[in-house]
Structure 1
Amino acid sequence: MSLITLRNLGVTLGMPLFSGLNLSVNASDRIGLVAANGRGKSTLLRLLAGALEPGEGEITRARGLTVGHVEQSVPSALMGATLQDAVLAALPADQAEDERWRVDVVMEMLEVPDALRTRPLSNLSGGWQRLALLARTWIREPDALLLDEPTNHLDLSRILQLEGFVNGLPRGTAVIVASHDRAFLDATTNRTLFLRPENSAAFALPYGRARAALDEADAADARRYQRDMKQAAQLRQQAAKLNNIGINSGSDLLVVKTKQLKQRAEKLEDAAKPAHLERSAGAIRLSNRGTHAKVLVTLEDATIATPDGTALFRTGRQFICQGDRIVLLGLNGAGKTRLVTALKAAIEGAAVPGIKATPSLVLGYGDQALADLADADTPLAALTRRFALGEPRARALLAGAGVVIEKQGKPLGRLSGGQKARLGMLVLRLAEPNFYLLDEPTNHLDIEGQEALETELMAQQATCLFVSHDRSFVRAVANRFFRIDRRRLVEVEDAEAFFAEAAALNG
């Protein structure tokens, strides 16, 4: 049964986001919506929810259809409300009075601890705020659920919990998920729509298999275009030869034949369509200064503790060597961030008992909040103050990283999350480190950016230790695996057992 039908849908905001889009959303569909940052995913979800009207084409909804839309941010008017009151307020007044029990049901579904239910949303983490928005939407039990970047700000445990929630929804509920989390898309969807300015592509497959099918289709289009253009060139060459012969011989037949060949070439050229070329949101490049030292960091059974001195775990004797790409695994509260903080301090010259960094180590540090980039600063100032760059060079580097010239002199707070993340990567590159310490490096990066970062880390043979809840990124990048387990730091063979145990805890 079709719940929503799109016919020749199109939106242009300065440039086309998508056009000629045709799609049927059926009951029980689980559709992954994929596109780079700023390429129309949120716009399409708002169109589906009825919050926007299309610039062209039409949207038809089944009679009586209810649509729930979970957007990316909490309305400011709700920030002072407690979590449970914010969820209750999503119900109509008469229903809220008689069916308050619905709040408890959805809270249990999302495993919200009792202590958090009476806290104001402003006092909750970004992850719990996201789940509060989901609770507000699901309490109305919509026929179609739209999720806009639902895993943003969630740790692995909550992502796995959200996967279980989505997969446990009633079979007749359609779900459309706009996300850059490849593993989440693979776990929760059975169809994939790749949104493009022209010729958006849909496959009845989850993301990973759909991406392979899309790449194959794009490669076939490229081969077809090259073949058609080559054939057109050959026809034009034949026409030129016949034209010369016809002129010299005075043959009217050859003149006619020349005209026919030219027409065939023109027809081929007019019909030929170049393969899709994704417009980059900004390049990600890294550097590797290199060092002669083989061991960059030595852990000599260091004690990692909370700021008040409470011991969390001991590291044992561990070495971080050139070429290591180490992922740090551990449940929430195990001490991952505290270890990253201790490593950063030791590398920057502080005396940290049990942690020794080689003197030739040059740190490239990036945290998930991009705290080193102040919102009041400008992108241009952020570069020119740190590095010996002339303004023209700085502007060219910023443009290459996806920060257009109009935004280079405006406060960083006006950049999108993706633009700010790419700027952070540019700052890391210009520091020319030989060791990267990265806390959730794929936050705010679209799939193109994630894959570019993966490629750069491996191509540069960069040494790094990173924390990430992005399972696809971990699987692609890490070649060593440190796990905080039973108050000890141990090396394990891979991340799969940890992922499986985390999933079981949320099963």
Structure 2
Amino acid sequence: MATISLRNAGHRAGETLFSNLNLVIGDADRIGLVAANGRGKSTLLRAMAGLVELSDGEMTRSRGLAIGYVPQEVPAASLALSARDFITQGLGAATEQDEFWRVDMVLEEFAIPEHLRSLPLGQLSGGWQRMALLARGWVGQPDILLLDEPTNHLDVGRILALETWMDYATRTMPVVIASHDRAFLDATTNRTLFLRPSEQVYLPLAYSAARQELDRVDAAAEAQRERDLKQVSQLRKQAAKLTNIGINSGSDLLTVKSKQLRERAEKIEGQVQSEHKERTGLVKLGNSGADARVMMAFEAVPVSTPDARALFTIAKLHVFQGDRIALLGRNGTGKSQFMRLVSRALGGDVPPGMRLSPQIAPGYLDQDLSWLPLDPSPLDYLLHRFDEGDRRTVALLAGAGFAPDRQTRPIRTLSLGQRARVALLALRLAEPNFYLLDEPTNHLDIAGQEQLEADICGQGATCLLVSHDRAFLRAVATRYLMIDGKKLVEVDSPEPFLAQMAADA
């Protein structure tokens, strides 16, 4: 039986990321690992894979356990390798010669096209790099699979195909998945571990059901905490009253009784669980508002590739204030080119047939955070871009979850989740009334996704969005446009499109 066992496991990196983790992972356990950005998910997976040591506790693996570990990104040192050579390394030097046939097998299994297999990984899209990572983790026929954000950079079709593959290929083996994709966790897991600094919560449920149970558990714990603290307050008041009476009457018995009440209060107080609050560094967005009814209009606007190959035409489209429009389409149909066309128009390069309201104040968030500079620190970047002053900028960064030392580090040294928080903070300070969101949830944790959903919906902001995150798509959009052949058509719901994508997976 393939197992990994953790006893009193924990890890500290300046602060406690998690502690007191007791867990046995066995056959058919498909565990969703959920926590805020920077709270130890990747560290725990790397420790399970034998790549790092935890600060505290013990970890044991069953003898001869073969581990398939899939990190978030291709290591920089491997970007010059071809996809085939990178996957071949997953066999290990001892079996590479005898088991080379497995490489061709997994290349086919993960549908990596022939013409991409010999290209350097650095020349492939993020989606194909992700597929190469998955293939490398699988080629060695592991006993357990550890996946770190496996859906990042994948479109809906490939996510659904990955869900289908996992259902038949990994059904009976242990799998641990760190992911912020709620729909993916629901489809692929049967257990959920909520990783927290002090107490860990492990439930035999997929994410959505586990989240509901966690909310109930947290509410019950908080209610008990309030009752305990109320009892402590009452005991201290009684002790103080007896002390005064004892002093005035000279009664040693009352003084002893008062001491016993105080000791009882201290014992209860010591057992009271502290309230769990995730320090996620949430950034709240707004809507600067506009009077215009129509924010953007298209009439006979062609959408083409950079080399002028026609993709589709926008016959007629009005984007009204408050619309939240999601763009649907298969990979390669032109979603990215449509978003680039709109982005260029918002920057002043408006094509014939397109009109923008002069009241538009745009805000842009893309999956690669390509507009975010990497050399300055978050503090320097925000100070130079926005006139907020030193003290307010420091306070804003602190509210977004950045300790003082992290505020002055170069952005390139931050995790992708931390970079996303910097980008969101910049977006907030720009005070847009029109959001252009291209895969905005890629590096946001679940709390950040839910906050973004609440802000976009609650503030009544206008937005155009492309997203592979089905939960986000369903929560935010009020209108749906689908690329159908050479046309852009409006549909009532994303569900037929998603169903067709699932059928084709």
Instruction: Judge conservation of contact 1:143–1:172 (CA < 8 Å) in 2.
Output: no
Task: Provide closer, same or farther for how the CA distance between residues 159 and 294 of structure 1 changes in structure 2, counting only shifts above 3 A.
Answer: same
Partner amino acid for 2:491?
V
Q: CA shift at 1:391, angstroms?
A: 2.4
| Structure 2: 5+ residue stretches without partners | none
Q: CA shift at 1:356, angstroms?
A: 0.9
For 1:394 and 1:92, locate their aligned partners in 2 and report how far apart those are by CA, in whole Å: 49
SS of 2:97 mapped into structure 1: helix
1:146-161 mapped onto 2 (5 Å cutoff): 146-161=146-161
Instruction: Judge conservation of contact 2:7–2:20 (CA < 8 Å) in 1.
Output: yes
Q: CA shift at 1:2, angstroms?
A: 6.0
1:267-282 mapped onto 2 (5 Å cutoff): 267-280=267-280, 282=281
| Structure 1: 5+ residue stretches without partners | none
Partner amino acid for 1:425?
L
In the alignment, which residue of structure 2 is the partner of 1:340? 339
Task: Provide closer, same or farther for how the CA distance between residues 250 and 80 of structure 1 changes in structure 2, counting only shifts above 3 A.
Answer: closer
For 2:492 and 2:387, locate their aligned partners in 1 and report how far apart those are by CA, in whole Å: 43
SS of 2:96 mapped into structure 1: helix
The answer to whether 1:454 aligns with 2:461 is: no
Deviation track 1:136-170 (CA, whole Å, cap 9, x = no partner) reads 22111111111111112222222222212222224
Q: CA shift at 1:248, angstroms?
A: 4.1
Q: CA shift at 1:94, angstroms?
A: 5.8
Q: CA shift at 1:252, angstroms?
A: 4.8
The answer to whether 1:401 aligns with 2:373 is: no
Task: Provide closer, same or farther for how the CA distance between residues 65 and 314 of structure 1 changes in structure 2, counting only shifts above 3 A.
Answer: same
1:153-192 mapped onto 2 (5 Å cutoff): 153-192=153-192
The normalised TM-score by structure 2 is 0.95
For 1:378 and 1:251, locate their aligned partners in 2 and report how far apart those are by CA, in whole Å: 66
* Structure 1, 336-345 or 403-412: larger mean CA deviation: 403-412
In the alignment, which residue of structure 2 is the partner of 1:437? 436
In the alignment, which residue of structure 2 is the partner of 1:41? 41
Instruction: Judge conservation of contact 1:343–1:355 (CA < 8 Å) in 2.
Output: no
Partner amino acid for 1:63?
R
Deviation track 1:24-58 (CA, whole Å, cap 9, x = no partner) reads 10111111111111111111112211222333221
SS of 2:32 mapped into structure 1: strand
For 1:407 and 1:239, locate their aligned partners in 2 and report how far apart those are by CA, in whole Å: 46
Q: CA shift at 1:172, angstroms?
A: 3.2
Partner amino acid for 2:422?
L
Deviation track 1:467-495 (CA, whole Å, cap 9, x = no partner) reads 11111111111111111112221221221
The normalised TM-score by structure 1 is 0.95
Q: CA shift at 1:209, angstroms?
A: 0.8
Partner amino acid for 2:3?
L
Percentage identity across paired residues of the two chains? 54
In the alignment, which residue of structure 2 is the partner of 1:124? 124
For 2:294 and 2:427, locate their aligned partners in 1 and report how far apart those are by CA, in whole Å: 22
In the alignment, which residue of structure 2 is the partner of 1:98? 98
* Structure 1, 267-276 or 377-386: larger mean CA deviation: 377-386
In the alignment, which residue of structure 2 is the partner of 1:51? 51
Partner amino acid for 2:236?
R
For 1:396 and 1:261, locate their aligned partners in 2 and report how far apart those are by CA, in whole Å: 43
In the alignment, which residue of structure 2 is the partner of 1:301? 300
How many equivalent residue pairs? 505
Instruction: Judge conservation of contact 2:2–2:65 (CA < 8 Å) in 1.
Output: no
Question: Which of structure 1's runs of 4+ aligned residues deviate more than 6 A?
Answer: none
In the alignment, which residue of structure 1 is the partner of 2:376? 377
SS of 1:483 mapped into structure 2: strand
Task: Provide closer, same or farther for how the CA distance between residues 74 and 349 of structure 1 changes in structure 2, counting only shifts above 3 A.
Answer: closer
In the alignment, which residue of structure 2 is the partner of 1:504? 503
In the alignment, which residue of structure 2 is the partner of 1:353? 352
For 2:391 and 2:59, locate their aligned partners in 1 and report how far apart those are by CA, in whole Å: 47
* Structure 1, 36-45 or 169-178: larger mean CA deviation: 169-178
SS of 2:172 mapped into structure 1: coil
SS of 2:169 mapped into structure 1: coil
In the alignment, which residue of structure 2 is the partner of 1:222? 222
Aligned-residue CA RMSD (Å): 1.9
Q: CA shift at 1:387, angstroms?
A: 2.1
For 1:339 and 1:461, locate their aligned partners in 2 and report how far apart those are by CA, in whole Å: 23
For 1:456 and 1:114, locate their aligned partners in 2 and report how far apart those are by CA, in whole Å: 43
Partner amino acid for 1:95?
T
For 2:489 and 2:114, locate their aligned partners in 1 and report how far apart those are by CA, in whole Å: 34
In the alignment, which residue of structure 2 is the partner of 1:3? 3
Q: CA shift at 1:107, angstroms?
A: 1.3
Instruction: Judge conservation of contact 1:326–1:479 (CA < 8 Å) in 2.
Output: yes
Task: Provide closer, same or farther for how the CA distance between residues 76 and 182 of structure 1 changes in structure 2, counting only shifts above 3 A.
Answer: same
For 1:184 and 1:252, locate their aligned partners in 2 and report how far apart those are by CA, in whole Å: 67
For 1:125 and 1:93, locate their aligned partners in 2 and report how far apart those are by CA, in whole Å: 28
Q: CA shift at 1:93, angstroms?
A: 4.4
Instruction: Judge conservation of contact 1:379–1:412 (CA < 8 Å) in 2.
Output: yes
1:239-258 mapped onto 2 (5 Å cutoff): 239-258=239-258
Q: CA shift at 1:445, angstroms?
A: 1.0
Instruction: Judge conservation of contact 1:326–1:480 (CA < 8 Å) in 2.
Output: yes
For 2:438 and 2:329, locate their aligned partners in 1 and report how far apart those are by CA, in whole Å: 13
Q: CA shift at 1:126, angstroms?
A: 1.9
In the alignment, which residue of structure 2 is the partner of 1:142? 142
Deviation track 1:110-134 (CA, whole Å, cap 9, x = no partner) reads 1111111222222211221222122
Q: CA shift at 1:270, angstroms?
A: 1.7
Q: CA shift at 1:432, angstroms?
A: 1.3
